[in-house]
Structure 1
Amino acid sequence: MSPPPLPRATYRVQLHADFGFDDAAVLAPYLADLGFSHLYVSPVMAARPGSTHGYDIVDHNRFNPELGGEAGFDRLVAALREQGLGLVLDIVPNHVGIGPDNAAWMDVLEWGPQSPHAADFDIDWQSSRRNLQGKVLLPVLGNAFGVELESGHIELRLDAAEGSISAWYHDSRLPISPMDYAPLLQDALASAQGEGTRRLANLVRDFDALREHPGSIAARRDTAASLREQLVELLADEPELIDAIGRGLRRVGGDVGDADRWQRLGELLDRQAYRPAFWRVSSDEINYRRFFDINDLAGLRVERAELFEAMHRLVLARVRSGDVQGLRVDHIDGLYDPRQYCERLAQACVAAPVPTWILLEKILAPHEELPGDWPVAGTTGYEALNLIGGLFVDPASERALTTIYRRISGERREFDAVLYESKKHIVQNNLASEMGVLANAVQTLSASQWRSRDFSYAAIRKALEELVARFPVYRSYLDPTHPLSMADRRHIEWAVGLARKHAGPVDTSVYDFIASILTGELAEPGTRYPAEPVRQAAMRFQQLSGPAMAKGLEDTSFYRYLRLLVHNEVGGDPRRYAVSPAAFHKANVQRQLQHPLAMLAASTHDTKRGEDARTRIACLSSVPRRWAQHLALWSRLNRRLLAKLDGEPAPDANHQYYLYQTLIGAWPADLDIDDAPALAALAARVEGAVIKAVREGKQRSSWTHPDADYEQAVGRFVHGMLAPGARNLFLADFQTFLRPLAWWGALTSLSQTLLRLTMPGVPDIYRGAEGWELSMVDPDNRRPVDYAALRAAAVDVAAIAGDPDAVAALLPHWADGRVKLHLIRSVLRLRREQPALFSEGLYQAVDISGDRPERVLAYQRRHGEHELLVVAPRLWPQWAPELPQSAEAASAALAGLTIDLAPGRYRDVIAGRSLDVGSAGPVSVAELLTYFPVGLLLRG
């Protein structure tokens, strides 16, 4: 069967060696039964061996053998097609994994700027540092170069099967240029004998002649390749030469502690097109663009048409063959020219059998919109995730919760100050080298004209750091073919205004000069500045501001400012405390007009916590007084577990605050506090999540400078607070506090799920999130999914479809997750039955009447003769009873609220009943939700 021409709903899986193509193929009947239209998979191209995520691709044109290779991919496509399902691929155009497994990168290290792949990587070959000109920095060493060299940790090895010589530092291969083979092979002649000696001597002569090769670079490379082949043949014929060459290579080194004998190896490495270095120097000196600050993920210049075509060859062939119907583009903001990339990709997909669904992983600020003229369906849905989530935060509690957080944590600053400090830290530390490259480019421009040549490098760099730190969005989008948008111009003006305001009584004209670069005005005719370098500098700034925001906001500020963790989500903003129903409706109307097929996500491989963990945390906003009382009690009960480091408690109050919220979100619904093994397993998971939070916050520890004492104190605290036994009074009180919160969180999750499945867009379910998704930050959210249990639950909910009483009976057993699975199955099967209603149906808000109508959100989707009513209660802790935990009790709390319905017969999609409305007028919301706490009614 062919998949539908447009996606209705996607199911995201994470592929790795333990869950490959064949494992995903097994899911096809299960997903089809639930109502999904497409499987959405993590990257499938060859990644580094053992990769658990696939984003460290080393070959864009080869299927990952650990997933099953090309044959496995074909089996997956066939299994999906048999069930009428399509396939969406996650592609990674921004970067590749570098190391011995990446042949192109190894070639660049071997040949430097002369490599045909040199232009594919974003390398600054003209570094301002003299010892990096014509070289690439390799921050792979665990200590200073001289220390590692003289300790014997770098050694030369021969690869007889390849005819190559490399320096090896543990698992890092550093290829030696063929121009340096002659003296290395010469050492073997002294101990070689027989016919092999003559042939080896000839090869030494020919390798030596490479330095003076009269031909082109390509001819020199061809000659070197031929000589290597001859060396391979010689070693196969005379295997005793392998040992002779090996002995010679070992003589290039020396004895540990004898510095003079390492001179030759050090000089050999200094002649290469790379500089091995201590990994800690990477932030200051690295001269290739990375994925954020990850040294072993190198940026690609996909803006080059040749590279675009080469690296997309395989994926586009599969799109054109009809095997793949959608593409999710990873990290679009990391590209030099995102618009150009989208246009090229869309054009390349024109020959596909059906229009290709192209989505961008792009994080939008609450006030920001995706450029409307990009030929894509939209984003992967982080803005929708936070829009929906904000509905369930009680707006009335902002002041109270802020006061509680400040009193307990001691953090008095507003989030703006925390964000600025975090971004400043990132550009001055993690991205210092990238900032230096940009500052050099700007200074070169300023020095080219008299009017600006007095701007010093220091002033330019400081100004750039300020502008990046104060930039209000991830990036702007100046490009060679389109003028800057008014929105982007406002973003630049905002950053410049703030920077000037906080600069003090100093000359701030440098900000105006940089602003004229960022807007492109400095490249206009008559300015006398070279247009292309101006544009390049602006676009380099754009490439840098995105990673600075990502690392400063998501990976630093979100682990420092912890008032309510539901805000600290990818795409979130703690400055937007809550979302009103009016704002929600307005955003959906806009979404329907601009990007009706954008993705709607709730949990992803990148979210900081699972969707259902967030709803529990959101419910804290409705019970601030109770929250404060229990926090005070827990602080006293767990004081005995604190360590003292330099006179300060460990973990500190802010991290304790993070820990309690994390535990509330992650606590398994069926966990018994007397279950010692389960508590120990939970403690290990929580410890990992909190240690990661501590390191990301970069205040008490960090990834680059971990504080073992503090982290051990955190671990002891976590395991102590979760230790079973009568002496642990915290556990009993925590369970008492959590019990109603978990119930309200489950109800909130059902509302959240219903909205995501019915609002304009294409809903995505993250693997396993058809049940409760209470995961913490990765790698916790990538744990194996129990699909056997989910399939059994799916059989159960299929059996009760159409039986309202059986549906109502799910809620008292909400902890087993079947209630959520039933909701998802019911709505997805309706989406399959009525695809146009969801893809094209008009969105319209519906009013609720009665006492406190804001407790319920409702809207309609209309298409042709069909009308769909969505009813989703919110802020459950304010009014829903703690017990009994039943649909009847939940609906009874809505007594007095009504909604106007047109006369006719309605199908209660979730409960599986019919509802007749005799005449137009108000209908009780409680009646609509008698059997289930959220409602979906179809008329026509």
Structure 2
Amino acid sequence: MNEQNSWPRATYRLQMHKDFTLKNALEIVPYLDDLGISHLYMSSLLTAKPGSLHGYDVCDHKRLNPELGTEEDLQKLSDELKSRGMGLILDVVPNHMSVGCFNSWWHDVLENGPSSQFSNYFDIVWDDHYRESLRGKVLLPILGTTYGEAVDSGAFQAVVEEGNLYLKFGKIRLPIDPRTYGAILEPTLESLRDSMEEPETVLPELQSIISATKHLSGRMEKDSQKVLETRNEIVVIKRRLLELGLRSPAFQSEIETQFSLLAKDPNQLDKLIELQAYRPCFWRVASDEINYRRFFDINDLAALATERLEVFQNIHEKIFKWLHADIAQGIRIDHPDGLFDPKRYLARLQDEWRQGGDRPTLYVVVEKILGTFETLPKDWQTDGTTGYEFLNYINGLFVDSAAEARIDQIFQSFTGIEDSFEEIVYRKKMIILQSSLTSELHVLAGYLDRLAQSERSTRDLTLNGIRHALREVLCSFPIYRTYIDGDVQSTDRVAVLKAIRAARRRNPLLGREIFDFIRDTLLLKPLSSGTASQEYRSAQIRFAGKFQQLSAPVMAKGFEDTALYIYTRLISLNEVGGDPMLFGRSPDLVHKFLGERSPGGLSPLATHDTKRGEDTRARINVLSEIPDEWNERSLRWSQMNDRHRVALEDHNLAPDRNEENLLYQTLIGSWPVNAAEERQSYSQRICDYMIKAMQEAKVHTSWINPDQEYLEAVQKFIERILDPDQSSEFMTDFQDFIKQIHLHGQWNSLAQTLLRCTAPGIPDTYQGTELWDYSLVDPDNRRPVDFSIRQDFLKEFQSDQSTDTIQDLLKNSDSGKIKILLIARCLKLRKEWPELFSRGDYQALKVKGAKAENIFAYLRTWENLASLIVVPRLTWKLNSARKCEPFRAEWEETTIELPEHLLKRNWRNYLTNESLKPVETFSVQNLLESFPCCLAIAQ
């Protein structure tokens, strides 16, 4: 979509929070410039929930987060970047806002209900909730106990502040509707009549204020003029109360007393709360009855109706101020699948960008998670994705697909799990729709039921049947969502039909008519009579949009956040946007993907949301090359550690075999280089990870219903097996195994790093991963980064680039210096020859010889420029690899064929600075003699 010369050359992702601010980012700009980064790519800078470590819980879209710094700090950072020819990419969060802290829009909704000027900013079901008592109200799942217990125990406190009345529950402030102020002001008036020395100075004004509150129009008022008048009158009422309190300390004291007395009287407090535009409830109630759309199932994150123009403009106002002021030069869109109409949203972004000037197209990437073989819609105005599909294709290249059947046997034998991954995903999506997203399903079913009841041909369909069938279709949906917006693309039709067929096959007792109705509604087909009003079609489009907004979180929660923690066959494949059933990706498949890829998209190997660090996955991949050795070791370890498993009262043993399988692979992937020095902190990291994994898996425990006894038992098991004093035999055997595969994991890591930096796309480096990254899922992958070490390493390379230095680094690879050297040299070349990598052609190369399957090679060419990239794969299969010096192998007669027009060129290995003679074919042995990968350039 964009002009190539406006694309970033290489990005670097930073997680911003109170402990890493704009000033901290400014300090590392020189280092990032030296590394070869062109654009800093930051998590959201807008005001988030206090103390947020990720920034996606935005509570004010119009203000820079004060915990990160000031506008002046941001300007200084931008100026420093631009002075070095660098830029800034902003993270935009258009789907939701945090309501777990003060949010002025949400606060107004709670105070004024449907009459709030922000009532349509959020997706709230005001009128159609099946509970009549909730109509016109927002359900607030904020209580840690039942509503009755909270009221009876005095958990609510009364607050009077600057003319506003609040109920405070913990840190949460709930506004009192001024229309109901009389419940506090009238007792205050009566008490003051007899106690005040000069009542004539206060009582008439207070009586007038009470009268004004009684004349306010109701919260359900539809007349826009009356609503506006009431809104203005409420401002006046609060100002008068503030002024009266400042003028009369006796009044201020009495209103506080009367409000406190009311809050301590359960009956009076209950009556007051009943009059409000919200209903506080126990947080567990949310899954069944919540009536506002959330980000996934997070109660604190209320979804926004960004499809409304006024909402779009308000949540992007600050972003576009920064963009138009050239403080930032591009944006990344968080979770576009949560939007009602992503295509229209992206078009609006470009329209808004062009307002007030003739500007080139804005650089935009989207965090779109593509299913297997799914492609980005061609009509989206975006430069590409944030790259999860790239990550998974590259990762699959280093998995030995020939071992799939054997790994299957090992997994099933060790864990006892025989279900397919597809079946596990189906069941977990069903659990999600029967628990945390039940309310969203109720709302969707109600919407479709009203559509069915509007026509005689579908009037006999029941609400219960519709809800059941919708649940089945959602559980069978093969991708995150479709993008039906008035037109139905062929890819959307295929997904819908596949889901309908699967749902019908699983539920033969449900009538065919109900599935046909869902299918036809989603595909915007007219009624069987052949007639369809515009009103009916608009309702179909609206339903399709709402269905799509639910199918995405159902997939995310059932697939990413549940099934990926259960199917432990080879956990390096269990990644966001991945497909654990696709056991490896052939070189031909990867070549095809890279050749067709948008060069404007990002190319990461890790992000803040990946399930494992890039080098953790690379090491686990080695297990696919040695299935028999892996089977022998895992069985032996389980026998060694059986005495540490904990017997529970229900006769279960903790951990179970599947959790044990997950644990051993996690240890293999994340085992630190300096294990002895990090043993204590590492043990805690693994405990924290396994607790999260088990809660996500929802087998023995869950976030909603945690089983503390089970969690503590697994934690004890981990602590015992990682304690050399208690498990010396296991620790000795485990570390022996790690020594054998560690080098091959690093080999994979260097290879995938070179691919990331040279393949079509923009190399994206996640913070700190310039060195080995053996991290796990967040929050483990968001630990502080020591940039001083990385800066020192980079300075060493700039002062000494000899081949001898490279050989020393290869022999001492555990320091991670070899990885940062590789990144720095690749990015330096991209800076020297930007067109070659941003606009150049991609050409797969033929590899011949005995070790051909162990090589992946391609060319990047642009005009007279050419670059040759060669990386090894499946290195365990190189017969002498484990016997040679580090990163050395015997490649026999394996060669790479060059196109005819490049045969006479002089080549230089850019990584080692060695010259390569003109040849018709390159010997892999020569190319990889001094370095485990090759990046050669034509002179």
Range of TM-score over shorter length: over 0.9
Task: Give how far 1:425 is off.
Answer: 0.8
- Pick the aligned partner of 2:599 from 585, 596, 607: 596
| Separation (CA, whole Å) in 2 of partners of 1:873 and 1:598 | 25
Residue 501 of structure 1 is matched in structure 2 by 505
2:532 corresponds to 1:527: yes
Deviation at 1:892, TM superposition (A): 3.3
Could you tell me which residue of structure 1 aligns to residue 926 of structure 2?
927
Q: How far is the alpha carbon of 1:793 from its aligned partner?
A: 1.1
Query: CA offsets, 1:68-108, max 9 Å, x none?
Result: 03122112112212222100011100000114420110000
Which stretch has the larger CA shift, 116-125 or 722-731?
722-731
CA 1:196–1:683 in 2, change beyond 3 Å: closer, same or farther?
Answer: farther
C-alpha contact 2:180 2:213 (8 A) present in aligned 1: no
Is 2:19 the counterpart of 1:18? yes
Query: Per-residue CA shift, 1:18-43, capped at 9, x if unaligned?
Result: 00101011111101111111000000
AA at the equivalent of 2:478? P
Q: Give the match for residue 126 of structure 2.
A: 125
Shift, 1:197, TM fit: 6.8
**Counterpart amino acid of residue 899 in structure 1:** I
1:430 aligned to which of 433, 436, 443: 436
Please give the alpha-carbon distance, in whole angstroms, between the structure 2 residues aligned to 1:658 and 1:363: 24
% same residue: 40
In 2, Cα distance between the equivalents of 1:336 and 1:300? 10
Answering whether residue 146 of structure 2 is matched by residue 144 of structure 1, we say yes
> Could you tell me which of 152, 155, 158 is aligned with 1:153?
155
8 Å contact 1:894–1:925 — kept in the other structure? Answer: yes
Equivalent in the alignment of 2:229: 219
Cα drift, residue 929 of structure 1:
1.1
2:696 counterpart residue number: 696
Quote the residue 2:287 is aligned against: 283
The whole-number CA distance in structure 1 between the counterparts of 2:144 and 2:601 is 45
Q: Equivalent residue for 2:220?
A: none
Match in the other structure for 2:708:
708
- CA distance change for structure 1 residues 575 and 196 in 2, over 3 Å: closer, same or farther? farther
Q: Could you tell me which residue of structure 2 aligns to residue 558 of structure 1? A: 564
Conserved? CA contact 2:881–2:890, under 8 Å: no
Counterpart pick for 2:468 among 452, 457, 462:
462
Paired position in structure 2 for 1:652: 656
User: How much has 1:729 moved relative to structure 2?
Assistant: 1.3
1:636 is aligned to 639
Does the alignment pair 1:610 with 2:613? Answer: yes
| Counterpart contact for 2:694–2:702, Cα < 8 Å | yes
Match of 2:245 in 1: 235
Give the C-alpha shift of residue 354 in structure 1.
4.9
Using a 3 Å threshold, how does the CA distance of structure 1 residues 375 and 39 change in structure 2: closer, same or farther? same
Structure 2 CA distance for partners of 1:834 and 1:463, relative to 1, 3 Å: same
Q: Using the TM superposition, give the Cα deviation of residue 321 of structure 1 relative to its aligned residue in structure 2, in angstroms.
A: 1.9
Cα deviation code 1:209-264 (max 9, x no counterpart): 3332477111112111112112212222323433222211121134xxxxxx4111
Distance 1:300 1:748 in 2: 42
1:196-345 correspondence runs (5 A): 198-199=201-202, 201-213=204-216, 216-254=226-264, 261-345=265-349
| Residue 572 (structure 1) shift | 0.7
Q: Name the CA distance, whole Å, in 2 between partners of 1:373 and 1:531.
A: 22
Q: CA shift at 1:155, angstroms?
A: 2.4
Verify: 1:867 aligned to 2:866, yes or no. Answer: yes
The match for 2:87 is 86
Distance across 2 between alignment mates of 1:204 and 1:558 = 63
AA partner of residue 911 (structure 2): I
Q: 1:761 Cα deviation (Å)?
A: 0.6
| Partner AA of 2:692 in structure 1 | K
- 3-state SS of paired residue (2:263): coil
Conservation of the 8 A alpha-carbon contact between 2:120 and 2:305: yes
Within 2, Cα distance between the matches of 1:842 and 1:908? Answer: 20
**Which position in structure 1 is the counterpart of 2:221?**
none
8 Å contact from structure 2 (residues 397, 873) kept in 1? yes
Q: Which runs of 5+ in 1 are unaligned?
A: 255-260
Residues of 2 paired with 1:9 and 1:745: CA distance? 25
Deviation of the 1:666 alpha carbon: 1.1
- Structure 2, unaligned runs of 5 or more: 218-224
Distance in 1 (CA, whole Å) between partners of 2:784 and 2:404 is 37
Give the distance between the partners of 1:498 and 1:596, measured in 2 at CA: 36
Q: 1:321 touches 1:352 (CA, 8 Å); kept in 2?
A: no
Change in CA separation of 1:204 and 1:607 when aligned onto 2, cut-off 3 Å: farther
Structure 2 distance, partners of 1:710, 1:224, is 53
Aligned to 2:906, the other structure's residue is in SS state: strand
**C-alpha distance in 2, partners of 1:682/1:225?**
56
Q: TM-score w.r.t. structure 2 length?
A: 0.95
1:165 match: secondary structure: strand
Residues 356-414 of structure 1 deviation map (CA, whole Å, 9 limit, x = unaligned): 21000010011211101111001100000000000000011101111111111111111
Inter-partner Cα distance in structure 2 for 1:386 and 1:167:
49
Q: TM-score, normalised by structure 1?
A: 0.95
Between 1:227-236 and 1:731-740, the stretch displaced more is 227-236
Q: What secondary structure, in the 3-state scheme, does the structure 2 residue paired with 1:862 have? A: strand
Q: Out of 898-907 and 221-230, give the one that drifted further.
A: 898-907
Mapped partners of 2:361, 2:798: distance in 1: 33
**844-853 vs 877-886, which moves further:** 877-886
Superposed, 1:471-870 pairs within 5 Å as 471-480=477-486, 483-522=487-526, 526-527=531-532, 530-591=536-597, 595-645=598-648, 646-672=650-676, 675=677, 678-725=678-725, 728-801=728-801, 803-870=802-869
Counterpart CA distance in 1 for 2:905 and 2:826 is 21
> d(CA) in 2 for partners of 1:684 and 1:280?
29
Number of aligned residue pairs: 916
Partners of 2:560 and 2:207 in 1: CA distance: 55
Instruction: Give how far 1:727 is off.
Output: 5.0
Counterpart for residue 893 of structure 2: 896
Q: Is the 8 A contact 1:57 1:97 kept in 2?
A: yes
Q: Which amino acid aligns with 1:739?
A: K
SS of the equivalent of 1:843 reads strand
Partner AA of 1:777 in structure 2:
V
Question: Hey, what's the Cα distance between the residues in 2 that align with 1:726 and 1:298?
Answer: 48
Give the drift of 1:852.
3.3
> How far, CA to CA, are the matches of 1:704 and 1:292 in structure 2?
14
For 1:447 and 1:140, the matched residues in 2 are separated by: 35
Q: Deviations over 1:4-57 (max 9, x none)?
A: 732111000000000010101111110111111100000000111101000000
Q: CA deviation at 1:668?
A: 1.0
Q: 1:257 aligns to what? A: none
Does the residue aligned with 1:463 lie in a helix, a strand or coil? helix
Aligned AA (1:895): E
Judged with a 3 Å threshold, the aligned counterparts in structure 2 of structure 1 residues 796 and 884 are, in CA distance, closer, same or farther, namely farther
Note closer, same or farther for the CA distance 1:615–1:250 as it changes in structure 2 (3 Å cut). same
State the AA in 2 paired with 1:221: R
What's the RMSD between the two structures over aligned residues? 1.7
Q: Is the 8 A contact 2:895 2:923 kept in 1?
A: yes
Residue 122 (structure 1) shift: 0.7
Q: Does structure 2 conserve the Cα–Cα contact (< 8 Å) formed by 1:182 and 1:204?
A: no
Provide the rounded CA distance (Å) in 1 between the counterparts of 2:810 and 2:562. 39
Query: Aligned equivalents of 2:54 and 2:206: distance in 1?
Result: 44
| 3-state DSSP of counterpart to 2:856 | strand
Work out whether residues 906 and 917 of structure 2, in 8 Å CA contact, stay in contact via their aligned partners in 1: yes
Q: Within 1, Cα distance between the matches of 2:510 and 2:467?
A: 15
Q: CA deviation at 1:193?
A: 2.0
Q: Which amino acid aligns with 2:781?
A: N
Does the 8 Å contact 1:808/1:886 carry over to 2?
Answer: no
1:442 and 1:472 mapped to 2: Cα distance?
21
Q: Over residues 665-716 of structure 1, what are the superposed CA-to-partner deviations in whole Å (9 max), with x where a residue is unaligned?
A: 11112223xx4xx211101000000000000001111000000000001110
